[in-house]
Structure formats: structure tokens, C-alpha cells
Amino acid sequence: MTEEQAVYILREILSAVNYTHSHKIAHRDLKPENILVRKVNERYKIKVIDWGLGTLMGDAKAHRVCGTPEYVAPEVIKGNYSIACDMWSIGAITYVMLTG
């Protein structure tokens, strides 16, 4: 994967997560396995899947420890986190995309 491809895919992931966060919904299990990528006419179509741990959070803190250990934010493990926990997971996904 080239850096340009990674940038495009990450922009699409961030757009999807921004949309759900604007509705106060956290995914809580973002990882490469939950991102579908399909190439259509030299463009990529991205889908974020597996919303089984997703939850409506509002402005409150959540306390349920969940998610995939390799991608979960430290505050989730501590059991006191906000909707921003998804951003840590996106950072981990970015690292995997760029380093393999």
C-alpha cells in the first residue's frame, strides 16, 4: 500500500467515524478487520463494519471494558472513557497500514 492510498483510506475512515461521533455513537472496536476496502474505477470504497460493540454515548463516560486488545485505547482498559476512544484505534490502524 502506498502512502497516497493510505491517506485516502484513512480520510474515508475518519469521515465515517466523524459522522457517527456527530451522532454521539462510538464504535469501540475499530481494527483493520472491521474496515472493508473495495477498489472501484481507481477509487476505494470504504465501509466500517461490525457495530456489535457500538453504543450511543452522548457526553457521558463509559465504563464497559471492550474491544480488541491490540487496538483498544488505554482509557478503555481502565474503564473510564469517552467517545474519543475510537481515535486511538484509528491511530493504531494507521500504524499497521503504513508499516505492515
Domains of the chain: 3-99 (1.10.510.10)
Give residue 2's pLDDT. Answer: 87
Instruction: Give the count of beta carbons closer than 10 Å to the beta carbon of residue 68.
Output: 16
Give residue 42's pLDDT. Answer: 81
pLDDT tens per residue, range 16-25: 999 999 999 9
| 3-class DSSP state of 46 | strand
Rounded CA-CA distance 70/76 in Å is 12
Cell numbers 493504531 correspond to: 92
Instruction: Give the count of beta carbons closer than 10 Å to the beta carbon of residue 76.
Output: 25
pTM for this prediction: 0.90
62 DSSP assignment: B
pLDDT tens per residue, range 58-74: 888 999 999 999 999 99
Rounded CA-CA distance 76/12 in Å is 24
Give the residue numbers marked as catalytic: 29
